[in-house]
């Protein structure tokens, strides 16, 4: 008798005639006319037979699974080839293009789900094409502008070589020095413009005080202002009121260009006013002068590189026409807007640059008050 429920089959291993067997045992009630009791029914098989059966089952299962895997792999391969065929056509289209070919890719080459990718690629190529065109224009303009002073330098040098009079030679050398200064000024402006246009579309968020930048520029350009008898004045709010996120070097270049232009085009005895003030969530930078100003028809053109209005040509024939183009590009990089108008000091010009400024931290004022 077993402690388990007698109607359940019990399985166990045993040895029969020296061979390991697997046995199933069942207690079965027996009712007869001559007896009543419990019969023990035992069925056994050798382990070799069980292992052979297991191997047959395993092999047949593996074979079916392998065939199934191969069938699924073939179906997946066919489906992937069918789905990726348009992408392979797109790949071949891109690979076989000439380096100078930046035309749009036909979106019909791919499925409609992939067409946004093609549209993004076309947009990237259009921006690249615009950048290349801009670089070509810049190179053409720069080579045209640099050709004139270099030709003048060559002519002056040849005249100096043929001159025997020391006084005349000294005068020619002085002209060469002046032409060289103009060429250096032009080259510096060209390099600045190239660095701004092709140096990236973002600037760091470092806090910069426009008032401090304006003070530095005022000190640097005080000497040329005094030499022309120009009254150079600065009106600025506190440094923490005029802080804007940006790059100090570029902002210094922008303010320097504005003040330098104002001094160059203002006649002797005139005035130049540099203002930095906060108005709400904006910071205003304004440079006003008492020079000849710019005609209304030229206000939109003066931001083009190398363009010079008639009034500026008369006031400063040796200018480069790059100052306001540099100012515009720096202002754009910093998210600022720029406008030109009358200065309020006669026919002069007023350049106003408005920067978005972060909110002033009230806690710092409270700490200072405490």
DSSP state of 201: S
DSSP state of 281: T
* Secondary structure of residue 98 in the 3-state scheme: coil
Half-sphere exposure of 171 (CA within 13 A, CB side): 6
According to DSSP, the β-strands at 231-236 and 271-279 are parallel
pTM higher than the cut 0.95: no
Quick one: which of 189, 247, 261, 260 has its CA closest to 213? 247
Task: Check if the beta carbon of residue 39 is closer than 8 Å to that of residue 30.
Answer: yes
pLDDT value of position 97:
79
pLDDT value of position 194:
64
Which ranges of the chain would DSSP assign to H, the alpha helix? 47-95, 115-162, 166-198, 210-220, 222-227, 248-265, 310-315, 323-333, 362-369
Task: Check if the beta carbon of residue 351 is closer than 8 Å to that of residue 258.
Answer: yes
Q: How far apart are the first and last CA of the chain?
A: 96
Low-confidence ranges of the chain (pLDDT < 70): 1-7, 134, 137-138, 140-149, 182, 185-186, 188-204, 296, 298-299, 303, 305-323, 343-346, 359-370
Max distance between CA atoms of the chain, in angstroms, equals: 159
Helices 323-333 and 248-265 pack at an angle, to 10 degrees, of 150
Long-range contacts of 164-169 (CB under 8 A, 24+ apart): none
Quick one: which of 318, 320, 324, 244 has its CA closest to 283? 244
């Amino acid at each position: 008798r077993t402690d388990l429920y007698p109607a359940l089959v019990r399985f166990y291993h045993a040895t029969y005639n020296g061979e390991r067997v697997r046995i199933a045992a069942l207690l079965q009630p027996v009712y007869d006319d001559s007896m009543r009791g419990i019969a023990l029914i035992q069925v056994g098989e050798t382990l070799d037979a069980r292992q052979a059966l297991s191997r047959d089952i395993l092999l047949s299962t593996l074979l079916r699974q392998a065939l199934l895997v191969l069938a699924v792999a073939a179906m997946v391969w066919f489906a992937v080839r069918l789905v990726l065929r348009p992408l392979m056509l797109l790949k071949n289209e891109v690979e076989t293009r000439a380096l100078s070919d930046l035309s749009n890719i036909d979106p019909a080459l791919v499925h409609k789900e992939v067409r946004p990718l093609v549209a993004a690629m076309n947009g990237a190529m259009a921006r690249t094409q615009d950048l290349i065109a801009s670089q070509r224009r810049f190179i053409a303009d720069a080579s045209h502008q640099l050709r004139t002073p270099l030709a003048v330098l060559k002519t002056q040098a040849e005249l100096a070589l043929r001159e025997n009079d020391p006084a005349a030679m000294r005068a020619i050398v002085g002209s060469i020095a002046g032409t060289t200064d103009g060429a250096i000024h032009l080259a510096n402006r060209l390099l600045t413009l190239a660095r701004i246009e092709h140096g990236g579309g973002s600037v760091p968020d470092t806090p910069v005080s426009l008032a401090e930048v304006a003070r530095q520029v005022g000190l640097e350009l005080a000497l040329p202002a005094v030499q022309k008898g120009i009254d150079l004045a600065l009106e600025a709010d506190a440094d923490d009121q005029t802080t804007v996120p940006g790059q100090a070097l570029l902002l210094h270049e922008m303010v320097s260009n504005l003040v330098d232009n104002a001094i160059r085009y203002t006649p002797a005895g005139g005035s130049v006013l540099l203002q930095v003030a906060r108005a709400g969530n904006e910071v205003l930078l304004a440079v006003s002068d008492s020079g000849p100003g710019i005609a209304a028809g030229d206000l939109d053109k003066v931001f083009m590189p190398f363009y010079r209005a008639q009034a500026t040509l008369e006031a400063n024939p040796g200018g480069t026409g790059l100052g306001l183009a540099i100012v515009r590009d720096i202002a754009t990089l910093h998210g600022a807007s720029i406008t030109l108008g009358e200065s309020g000091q006669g026919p002069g010009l007023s350049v106003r640059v408005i920067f978005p400024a972060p909110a002033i931290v009230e806690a710092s004022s409270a700490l200072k008050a405490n």
